[in-house]
């Protein structure tokens, strides 16, 4: 084996069993890598392999080198929510599995993995092409309802970073699965994130983040995807459910396309704080009443809420089915799309089906919204005359 390939279960340098504290072992491996790779041009990083097994993590891993790949053999998801609500006496397995890490920090930290390197200017700290692949991070204790959650964080990037990858991973029962601050071109694809408070948070600022082909299953009280101050975010081909909530604060030129979205609550996609020129196309929105409760949003908030300008909403299906007695405020007509503020938002070729009289609503401050074959006349409430409407016949 090349000396850049590590197996947590066989590496001779570990002073503790990886089953007892895989975090400590990985930190020791990183120290070993750094002791061997000492100049600017001798730092290719390494791969750390986590074979199938049940591992505890007591100590936070701190990654401060580029190109590290941490890789297992399976995301190992098992629904702990179903387990915790079921008699399990005769179950064969009651834990997640494959390359399965139980996040049980006793070091005072909240993160299983912290990616951070100090240095000024920020390009010194900037970390490149770190990869998390194909293992399971399990917060152990339920985060549902998330408040008060268990406060555990799966992976947190707190330095500027470029081209990082999170692929094929499993996350369960964490308050925060993935937080990435200062992301440039991160690739978050083919993951299974479920029963977490928050799935993906892009904090600080980000550009051209790509979130594709994931299952994001959770977020009863948090967010499926949260981004702030982002440019060019792409969210495509994901299945996002039971509490789909994609919230963008001051995010521009995002593309949210070809996703399958399902929620028990309003605010499935919210474009806030002047988020503008975003595209929401070819998504399937399903809203039902069921598991979980929330008072965060009432049914006037909209499944899609737009507070920004020049956004585009085209070619989406909205399937709304909630018993009338479960609408808040009581007796209200539920809002499918609320254009809350902004100029020149464009809606075309959307299809709304609902068990109740559902609405596309334009607030009074909005200007020049176009609503083209996206609502029947009965489905349309405009509190401004500054708009154009072609009703679905």
Please count the helices (runs of H) and the strands (runs of E) in the chain: 3, 40
Task: Assign 3-class secondary structure to 35-84.
Answer: HHCCCCCCCCCCEEEECCEEEEECCCEEECCCCCEEEECCCCCCCHHHHH
The rounded distance, in Å, linking the Cα atoms of 183 and 229 is 11
Q: Which of residues 137-196 bind a copy of itself (CB under 8 A)?
A: 162-163, 165, 167, 170, 185, 187, 189-190, 192, 194
104 near a copy of itself, judged by CB under 8 A: no
* Residue 42 contacts a copy of itself per CB under 8 A: yes
Residues of span 67-86 touching a copy of itself by CB under 8 A = 67, 69, 71, 73-79, 82, 86
The 253-292 contact track toward a copy of itself, x by CB under 8 A, reads xxx-xxxx-x--------------xxx-xxxx-x------
Q: Which residues contact 344 (CB under 8 A, 6 or more apart)?
A: 309, 310, 367, 368, 369, 370
User: According to the binding rule CB under 8 A, does residue 378 interact with a copy of itself?
Assistant: no
By CB under 8 A, tell whether 217 contacts a copy of itself. Answer: yes
Report the residue from 112, 177, 241, 339 that binds a copy of itself according to the rule CB under 8 A. 241
Which one of residues 9, 142, 229, 384 is an interface residue with a copy of itself (CB under 8 A)?
9
Given 20, 31, 44, 386, the residue binding a copy of itself (CB under 8 A): 44
3-state secondary structure of 107: coil
Of 105 and 191, which has the nearer Cβ to a copy of itself? 191
CB 207 within 8 A of CB 184: yes
Residue 1 C-beta: closest distance to a copy of itself, Å: 7
* Whether 167 contacts 131, CB under 8 Å: yes
Q: CA-CA distance, 307 to 319, in Å (whole number)?
A: 22
Which residue, 61 or 352, has its beta carbon nearer to a copy of itself? 352
Site for a copy of itself contains 17 (CB under 8 A): no
């Amino acid at each position: 084996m090349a000396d850049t390939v590590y197996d947590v279960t066989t590496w001779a340098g570990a002073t503790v069993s990886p089953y007892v504290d895989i975090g400590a072992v990985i930190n020791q491996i990183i120290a070993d890598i750094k002791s061997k790779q000492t100049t600017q041009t001798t730092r290719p990083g390494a791969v750390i392999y986590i074979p199938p097994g049940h591992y505890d993590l007591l100590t936070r891993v701190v990654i401060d080198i580029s190109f590290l790949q941490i890789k297992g053999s399976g995301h190992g998801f098992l629904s702990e929510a179903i387990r915790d609500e079921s008699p399990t006496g005769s179950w064969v397995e009651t834990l997640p599995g494959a390359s399965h890490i139980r996040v049980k920090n006793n070091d005072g930290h909240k993160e299983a993995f912290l990616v951070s390197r100090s240095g000024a200017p920020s390009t010194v700290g900037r970390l490149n092409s770190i990869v998390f692949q194909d293992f399971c991070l399990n917060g152990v204790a339920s985060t549902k309802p998330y408040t008060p959650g268990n406060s555990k964080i799966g992976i947190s990037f707190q330095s500027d970073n470029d081209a990082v990858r999170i692929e094929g991973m499993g996350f369960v029962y964490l308050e925060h699965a993935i937080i990435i601050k200062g992301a440039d071109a991160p690739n978050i694809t083919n993951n299974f994130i479920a029963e977490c408070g928050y799935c993906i948070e892009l904090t600080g600022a980000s550009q051209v983040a790509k979130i594709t082909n994931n299952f994001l299953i959770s977020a009863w009280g948090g967010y499926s995807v949260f981004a702030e101050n982002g440019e060019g975010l792409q969210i495509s081909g994901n299945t996002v459910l039971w509490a789909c909530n994609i919230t963008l604060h001051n995010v521009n030129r995002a593309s949210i396309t070809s996703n399958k979205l399902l929620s028990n609550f309003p605010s499935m996609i919210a474009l806030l704080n002047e988020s503008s020129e975003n595209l929401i196309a070819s998504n399937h929105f399903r809203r039902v009443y069921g598991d979980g409760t929330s008072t965060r949003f009432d049914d006037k908030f909209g499944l899609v809420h737009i507070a920004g300008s020049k956004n585009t909403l085209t070619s989406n299906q909205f399937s709304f089915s909630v018993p009338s007695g479960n609408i808040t405020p009581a007796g209200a007509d539920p809002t499918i799309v609320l254009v809350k503020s902004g100029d020149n938002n464009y809606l075309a070729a959307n299809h709304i089906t609902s068990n109740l009289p559902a609405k596309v609503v334009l607030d009074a401050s909005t200007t020049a919204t176009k609503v083209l074959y996206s609502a029947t006349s009965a489905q349309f409430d405009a509190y401004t005359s500054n708009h154009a409407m072609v009703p679905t016949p």
